[in-house]
Amino acid sequence: MTETVETDLSAAPAWTAASPFTAVNGDDRHEVYAALLADGPVHQITTPTGVTAWLVTGHAEARALLSDPRLVKGGWQAAVYARELPEEVARGIFTHMLSSDGADHVRLRKLVTAAFTRRRVEKLVPRIQRMTDELLDAVEGEETVDLISALAFPLPIGVICDLIGIPQESRADFRAWTAPLVAPGIFSFEEFAEAAAAMLRFSRELIEEKRRSPLDDLLSDLIAVRDDGEGLTEDELTSMIFLLVVAGHETTVNLIGNGVRALLANPGQLALLRERPALLEPAIEELLRHDGPLQNTLPYRTTEPVEVGGVTIPEGVPVIVSLLAANRDPALYAEGDTLDITRAAPTHVAFGHGIHYCVGAPLARVEARIAFATLLDRFPRMRLAVPDDSLTRAGSMIMNGLTALPVQLR
């Protein structure tokens, strides 16, 4: 993210609500976004890191801007704290496809797209099912568990680490590193910088190990591309690890956690899903729409003035698209705050839209499908162990996830 840009607010809707990024109690975050959306589809805000940016909350406006070539990422130099971090650290974790534009983005995305196709992901189903069963076996005899730490976190981190080729003993550190890396400004710069440097050191050490002893995994394949001189730089390689590990598990953690919570908080919908298991896949799409894993996109930057929602966003300013707000826009979704797993073909943007659409979406959907189906089958009496409105969400500008999900299994 870049420096604050002063702009004329005369044409902009007023900022009338509290910050959604720090709204962590119950459904407060959704209520803040609803208030913003009611006030208009475009707002100027201050991010947790103190940067002035434009927040787009309307669904039509979100889809339009996410396909607009006048919005760009700007490379690693435009990432949050890029100016404050040592350059080698900023380059080593931010030179990835979510920070890239044009030919660089196409090249980087192409390298990993094949690993996340629906066909390739379906081949992982037996392994994902075994991991799910093993995790639930471990809590079989317990009455109450935190489903985030018992399943929602270890399942996706295990799957993505298996896919990349990260050893089991190295995975425990990721949760500590990820928290500040996905919530800059909520955590201090010092915490962010320490996690970034640790992640980069780990990535470099892992790459050297894979060079010495390559295996049949995605990282070994990416290293071979790098060493064959096909255009992957060392910074792109370490940044790819950063992106795949952080984005590759955090979104699925939140999809499983938010989804289970939504079903348990809506017993009629849960009963319907139990009666009609064929609704599982459309139910996952509705859960993604209703309380998705991401609040917002990483920032874009305008290359020229852009008119959207009756507001002209100036040239050269950061723009953030609120996926969470867009997915409940009453202009598109009747009773959008209501969970309805029979909702006809919900056209959500929970995984983004346009060229930066989440490459790992097929994997996240399969993991969620297996997690939900197995939970419903093994624990038919599962229910929340605390009042729904007492649950809290992690502070973040990007992610939308619960800090814990206590459930009674029987």
pLDDT at site 32 = 97
For 83-87, 227-231, 279-283, 324-328, which range has the lowest pLDDT when averaged over its residues? Answer: 227-231
Residue 404 in contact with residue 386, Cβ under 8 Å?
no
Query: Does residue 392 register a pLDDT over 60?
Result: yes
User: Mean pLDDT lowest for which of 44-58, 76-90, 112-126, 144-158?
Assistant: 112-126
In 3-state terms the chain splits into helix, strand, coil percentages (rounded to 5) of 55, 10, 35
Q: Which residue has the tokens 């931010």?
A: 94
Q: Is the pLDDT of residue 171 over 80?
A: no
Q: What is the mean pLDDT of residues 257-270?
A: 98
Give the confidence band of 316 by pLDDT, cuts at 50, 70, 90.
very high
In this prediction, residue 7 carries a pLDDT of 35
Domain total for the chain? 1
Q: Which residue has the tokens 């346009």?
A: 354
pLDDT band at 229 (very low <50, low <70, confident <90, very high): low
pTM (whole model) above 0.85: yes
Sheet (strand 71-72) strand order? 42-46, 52-56, 318-321, 300-302, 71-72
The pair of three-digit structure tokens given for residue 33, joined into one six-digit string? 């976004």
pLDDT score of 10? 34
Instruction: Please indicate, yes or no, if residue 24 is contained in any of the structural domains.
Output: yes
Instruction: Give the residue ranges of DSSP H helices in 233-303.
Output: 234-265, 267-275, 280-290
Q: Residue 408 pairs with which residues in a beta bridge?
A: 144, 383
What is the C-alpha end-to-end distance of the chain, expressed in Å?
47
7 within some domain: no
Of the listed ranges 22-26, 151-155, 225-229, the one predicted with least confidence: 225-229
Question: Pairing relation of β-strands 71-72 and 300-302?
Answer: antiparallel
- C-alpha 169 chain-centroid distance: 24
- With beta carbons less than 8 A apart as the criterion, state whether 215 and 364 touch: no
pLDDT at residue 144 above 90?
Answer: yes
pLDDT per residue as tens digits for the range 8-45: 333 333 344 579 999 999 999 999 999 999 999 999 99
Low-confidence winner among 23-37, 233-247, 281-295, 364-378 (lowest mean pLDDT): 233-247
Rounded to the nearest angstrom, the gap between the alpha carbon of residue 42 and the centroid of all alpha carbons in its chain is 22
Report residue 162 as tokens: 């298996």
Closest CA to 164 of 113, 114, 124, 222: 222
User: pLDDT of 339-387, one tens digit each?
Assistant: 999 998 668 999 999 999 999 999 999 999 999 999 999 999 999 999 9
Task: Please determine, for residue 6, whether its predicted confidence score (pLDDT) is greater than 50.
Answer: no
Would you tell me how many other CB atoms lie within 10 Å of the CB of residue 310?
12
pLDDT of 230 reads 66
Give me the residue label for tokens 């029987």: 410
Structural domain contains residue 13: no
Q: Is residue 353 part of a domain?
A: yes
Does residue 5 lie within any of the structural domains? no
The residue-averaged pLDDT of 120-132 equals: 93
Q: How many degrees, rounded to 5, is the angle at CA 157 between CA 156 and CA 160?
A: 80
Element (H, E) at 52: strand 52-56
CATH number, position 266: 1.10.630.10
Its domain, for residue 354, covers 20-408
Is there a domain that residue 258 lies in? yes
| pLDDT of 71 above 50 | yes
Q: What percent of the chain has pLDDT over 90?
A: 80
Question: Is residue 116 predicted with pLDDT exceeding 90?
Answer: no
Q: Is residue 1 part of a domain?
A: no
HSE, CB side, 13 Å, CA atoms: give it for residue 375. 27
The average confidence (pLDDT) of the chain is: 91
Mean of pLDDT values over 56-81: 96
State the average pLDDT over residues 230-237.
Answer: 85
Residue 192: band (very low, low, confident or very high) from pLDDT cuts 50, 70, 90: very high
- Residues 237-251, mean pLDDT to the nearest whole number: 91
Alpha-carbon gap, residue 225 to 208, rounded angstroms: 14
Q: Report helix, strand or coil for 353.
A: coil
> Cα 356 vs. chain centroid, distance in angstroms?
12
Interatomic CA distance for residues 407 and 410, integer angstroms: 9
Mean pLDDT over 46-64 rounds to 95
